[in-house]
Amino acid sequence: MASNKRAIAICDTCGFQYPHRVLKKNSYGMLVCPTDWEGQFDLKNHPQNRVANTFDDPSIRDPRPPLNDDRNVLWNNANVNWEDETSNWNNV
């Protein structure tokens, strides 16, 4: 620390002169001015080092997709006999 309250120091990022009392150390240990100071981030509390909140909703049990009511598709009308369909194509 500077012993004189009017000591001048140079910002390690931009290179401008500032009073030493104004400069702060950043997360890399460099002395920087207030405009170049990124905040109180270090290896523990930097936003990129935090785990994202990605919890699923546990109250949803056995979810199902919505019904296809708009397409009028019913299992009763479904034709699973492929041979009948090919015989219809031969008659055309």
Judge whether 51 lies within some domain: no
Judge whether 4 lies within some domain: yes
pLDDT in tens, the chain (92 residues): 567 888 999 999 999 999 999 999 887 889 999 998 887 766 666 777 777 777 766 777 777 776 666 666 666 666 666 665 555 555 55
pLDDT for position 32: 93
Query: CA 57 from chain center: how many Å?
Result: 19
Judge whether 82 lies within some domain: no
Of 55, 38, 56, the closest CA to residue 47 belongs to 38
Judge whether 33 lies within some domain: yes
Distance CA 22, CA 33 (A): 7
Here the CATH number for the domain that contains residue 7 is 3.30.60
